[in-house]
Amino acid sequence: MFAGLALAGAAAAQPINTGHVEGQLHSARAAVAPGETFTIILRQQIDEGWHTYWRNPGDSGEATELTWTDPQGFSFGPIQWPAPEPAPFAGIVNYGYHGEVLMPISVTAPANARAGETLTVKANVYWLVCADVCIPEEGDLTLTLPIAAAGRDDPAWAQRAADRDRILAAPARRRGRAHHRRQPGAAFNHAAHAS
C-alpha cells in the first residue's frame, strides 16, 4: 500500500495535457497526518477559446468526471463545483468554465497510514472540452502525499483551498439528464449536441 519514503517531504503531482486542457491535482497539505481530513484540488487550465462544463451543463455538454483508480485507503468526497459561467453557442445555453478552474474535493487520509512514508493516489479524469466543436478528452492523474505525525500546509495551495467557499456554487437544482460518455478524441458538432 505504501509507496516508499518521500524525497522532498512535500505533496507532488505531475500535470497532464489532454490536448486542450492541462489538468493537475494539488493538495492543501504538504504533508498529511493519519486520519486527517483535508482538501485536494483538481485544477484545469483550459486553452483560450475552449470551455469545459459544470455539473449541470445546460442544453448540451457533459460534466467533468474524476474516478479514483488507486485510492490507497483514502476516502474521497465528490467534486465541489465552482460557480459556472454562461457558455452560449448558436442559441444554446450551456454552463461551464474558461481559463483556470479549481475544483475542491474533501479527502480523509487512512487512519492506519504510517508517519515517514508516502501514499500515491491515482485517478482517471474525463472532460468534454468545446469551442465550435466538442472533443472528449481524458487522462490519468497521480498525487504523492507524504504522511507525517503532524500534517502541515502547502505554502501555495493551503490558501487557495481555504478560499474554496468563495469559488463554490450555491446549491442548484440538478436537471435529470441521460449521460452517454463520448469516446475520447472523437470530435463532434457542438450545435448538433443540443438536447
Residue-wise pLDDT for 96-147, tens only, equals: 999 999 999 999 999 999 999 999 999 999 999 999 889 999 999 999 999 9
Task: Give pTM, 2 decimals.
Answer: 0.80
> Does residue 145 sit within a domain?
yes
> Does residue 140 sit within a domain?
yes
When pLDDT is averaged across residues 51-78 and rounded to a whole number, the result is 92
> Does residue 118 sit within a domain?
yes
> Does residue 177 sit within a domain?
no
Q: Say how many Å lie between the first and final Cα of the chain, rounded.
A: 44
For residue 134, the enclosing domain spans 16-169+182-193
Give the domain CATH number at 189: 2.60.40.10
Give the total number of structural domains in the chain.
1
pLDDT surpasses 80 at 68: yes
Give the separation between CA 172 and CA 159, rounded to whole angstroms. 26
Q: Is 28 exposed, middle or buried (0-12, 13-18, 19+ CB in 10 A)?
A: buried
> Does residue 7 sit within a domain?
no
Q: Show the cell assigned to 147.
A: 504522511
Please list the alpha-helical segments (H only) found in the chain: 157-162, 164-167
> Does residue 39 sit within a domain?
yes
The type of residue at 109 is A
> Does residue 122 sit within a domain?
yes
